[in-house]
Chains A and B, each alone.
Chain A
């Protein structure tokens, strides 16, 4: 019994991207994080890959893309297309301030047996009862909330788009997310359901992993107030990630909830 649940746990883990550091990494990669001028645009890649930031596995689905404009309202992506290895879209920055680009996947996972055969299901909570056969046995249900974000500022940054929604793992800036410089410490706060997420490990990996032999991962941990600091060793795009799990499920059949937060942050030279 123990062995079996361990195996299911492993499958569930593999399904929940990007939970573990060794798993595939999901990311959004903007062409710039600081823009200006009368008609600024950025183009953004969205993918799941091993190497950062090279699309080498599968594209990220854009149906979960939510862009928040500097006034806190939702903005629309343009020219979205999904290819073999990556999705691409453009963002027209019509407002001054900071845009938040987020892929938010919220789902329910179920493993069950029917006629001795093992089955997996994933989908929305509302369909759980409908889509799993009534005679299914050994049903194990879990929930996940994964957030993959990046940020772009047009002119002077602001923080309206970064207001936490109060659900899952979220990042709140202390140092502004588009104002990061090599060698200067940056401080952020992680929230879990709107409350400080204490004692979580954060890892940051600089991009261009293909051209070096070590991951050059740096890490930090959140304090009691959910705050953590990272000092960027050099300029570049960084993939930062934190994950956790708890039992605060919304679906009553689910015993476990898995949460992850990922962001792509640009660090500029001094």
Chain B
């Protein structure tokens, strides 16, 4: 360890203060700090600090994403091979999925991190770890056959327009990963919706149907999946959205470690369940009479509310606000699904919409606190 440390210190020398390449230091530090927690000591304020830092927090999210990702890779292969009709093993399916998905992850990280590094050097701050999560989320919510160059352009759009234009990590209004998906959705609709994109190779091979459950319902069709299949996730869909079971494992990791807000997750489930139940009572069409319980396990709802709605930067920031935000995300998700057959998947737009309104929700929560204080001042003034 000491040998490695010395080597690193030697390598970093030209990037030191007052040295030739000082301005590129953030790029080098980003790699160094992945090996070692730096030797920086406190200089003002509290003399001791908690072991937690942003890197640890973001890595926790990635760990929570891994079960979903691994299942998503397997399911990608499974959906393809089951329709081909040949016998296959777990590894056949997994390798088929991995060959599709790993290049997308690589493209997402390379493009996104390059932009992040450039901005860090340009602005003279360290590279924030937020993109480690965003960069993994983006491929996970794309259809499997989307061309890699579209992934690259979506990533570039999301990082530049949704994040850096607002001032970088911590400043963005919209969730960057969902912005990437929304960009792809509106820029390349034929690759992002319809009945040919949700199963690997469905657009190339005759006879493979690549329709999602929500798409089938929106088209007025019947579905032949049971609740358990939908819950487990062996259904067509974006790469990582299908398995409510594995999303729940991720949710458990996020909640136990305190990294993800349980208020937002629970609020969303309550909101979606309530609206879904009301529609069940109404029951005017296939989507309305689709059981509210099933609404919670199909499509991107579970993945969206656990991993995207809880993004602390774009969500509401106050505890009360988180409840309101979560409930509204859930309600809008089902509303969009049911009322707008052009967008059978409502969770993306519901979260983006509520991202925009999150500051407003917080504003009213905080205004409540301010009003309470001012009222106290006024009553104290009266008694004097």
The finding on whether chains A and B are genuine partners in a shared complex, rather than unrelated, reads no
Q: Which residues of A come within 8 Å of B, CB atoms?
A: none
